[in-house]
């Protein structure tokens, strides 16, 4: 497995894979409604069109044979913060260290880009993600009830100094 940079082409294979994975997983497994996939498409299009290559990046985890296993994006979220977005792993890659590889690649890039902290938002229902964030030194800073993607959820905000 190796984390590599996302190729920022909205019609390219990387973007189409990220969109397809999110569009299939979140409605089927998390019960999200049909507003979720268009949001992911919008985020990908915006990233491809205008991300700042000096301080924003996407990462794709691939097997040696080329199969994609996961993705993670890092975008500016204020003068000193980098936001982690679209963190996803196929089910077969979970529990293999794949998430750690993506997270480490993103945090290394954030440090090299001069960010002082990383932030990420998730939902309480994503217990495995919460355990991963806590294990990696992120602290939950905010919890709030929201109605998103057709569901009542508890949104959690996490952060970590770099």
Q: How confident is the model at residue 119 (pLDDT cuts 50, 70, 90)?
A: very high
Domain spans of the chain? Answer: 2-117
Helices of type H across the chain: 13-30, 36-50, 98-112, 127-135
Superfamily of domain covering 2-117: Gcn5-related N-acetyltransferase (GNAT) (3.40.630.30)
Mean pLDDT of 100-128: 96
Q: Does the pTM exceed 0.85?
A: yes
């Amino acid at each position: 497995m190796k984390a590599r940079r996302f190729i920022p082409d909205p019609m390219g294979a990387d973007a189409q894979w990220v969109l397809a994975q999110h569009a299939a997983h979140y409605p089927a497994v998390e019960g999200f409604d049909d507003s979720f996939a268009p949001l992911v498409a919008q985020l990908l299009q915006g990233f491809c069109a205008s991300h700042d290559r000096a301080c924003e990046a996407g990462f794709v985890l691939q097997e040696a044979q080329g199969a994609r296993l996961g993705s993670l994006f890092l975008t500016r979220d204020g003068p000193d913060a980098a936001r982690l977005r679209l963190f996803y792993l196929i089910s077969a890659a979970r529990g293999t260290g794949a998430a750690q590889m993506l997270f480490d690649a993103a945090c290394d890039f954030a440090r090299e880009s001069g960010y002082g902290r990383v932030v990420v938002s998730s939902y309480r229902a994503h217990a495995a993600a919460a355990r991963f964030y806590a294990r990696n030194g992120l602290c939950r800073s905010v919890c709030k009830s929201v109605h998103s993607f057709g569901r009542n959820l508890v949104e959690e905000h996490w952060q970590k100094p770099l």
